[in-house]
A and B are shown apart, each in its own frame.
Chain A
């Protein structure tokens, strides 16, 4: 079937772009605001606080094992972490799964190298970060300031994303 990309197609594209742009996620917190601190248990039961990562750029990723796009982006997030951790990048993944078991299994299967924390009651995800969906990722600069919020699955190890994170690491 030959697709006619005429006036209607163009209109559709314009509408699409408009909806995409007005629908782009904003910040629940104001841009430039301090990232809310928290303390959660990791999957081994150790307490981990956000402030312990101060001085590094932090990618704070909210996810769950029942979330397909979340699981899909994890290998690329791990690749990015392995490549840039020596330059001052930390990745902290926070699972909102109700139990540790599927999280442990996934982390082990994918050999995730970064810390994975549990937020079973969504206290950090919903209360502090006003979560609107999954996956949802915040980028925090070396001073602990929220600088970007990303909704949906990302290709973390793409050259474009790496360049962006490198800019954050060097302080732009």
Chain B
């Protein structure tokens, strides 16, 4: 019985892992710096330390020409704990114009971040 349960739990875990893999490329984009990669909008501690605690995201956004409201929202949905939302970050990302995305990409790259350096 114990073995059967173990099998079920393994199956459950594999399902989650596979689902995570399948959806891994579907939300926003991935930023990489110093060998560490996170989805933009991630709630992981490493992401928070790398982009929020360091002040990087504030500087990166400040150096773009995207609207103050969009900058404020991107900061809030990435870095302000009760407001963090990957879905809202994704919604902003997909609504951006090519010029705004270009601006954001250049600012990330200027500060040593690579974008989407990851396979699905």
- List A residues at the B interface (Cβ < 8 Å): 1-6, 8-9, 11-13, 15-16, 19-20, 23-28, 36, 64, 66-70, 96, 122-123, 125-128, 130-136, 151-153
Contact = CB atoms under 8 A, between A and B. Distances in A.
Contacts of A3: 4, 7-8, 10-11
Contacts of B19: 15-16, 19-20, 23
A19 B4 CA distance: 25
A25 B26 contact: yes
B101 A126 contact: yes
Interface string B12-32: 100110111011111111100
Contacts of B20: 19
Contacts of B93: 28, 130
26 contacts: A1-B7, A3-B4, A5-B11, A8-B5, A12-B8, A15-B16, A16-B15, A19-B16, A19-B20, A23-B22, A26-B26, A28-B94, A68-B119, A69-B120, A96-B116, A122-B105, A125-B116, A126-B101, A126-B105, A126-B116, A127-B98, A127-B101, A131-B116, A133-B119, A134-B25, A152-B25
Nearest to B27: A132
B102 interface: yes
Contacts of A16: 15-16, 18-19
B23 A19 contact: yes
Contacts of B117: 66
A7 to B, nearest CB: 9
B105 A127 contact: yes
Nearest to A96: B116
B3 interface: yes
A136 B25 contact: yes
Most chain A CB within a 10 A radius of its CB, from B3, B12, B18: B12
Contact of B116 (A25, A28, A69, A122): A122
Contacts of A123: 102
Contacts of B115: 122, 126
Contacts of B96: 130
Contacts of B94: 26-28, 130
B57 to A, nearest CB: 17
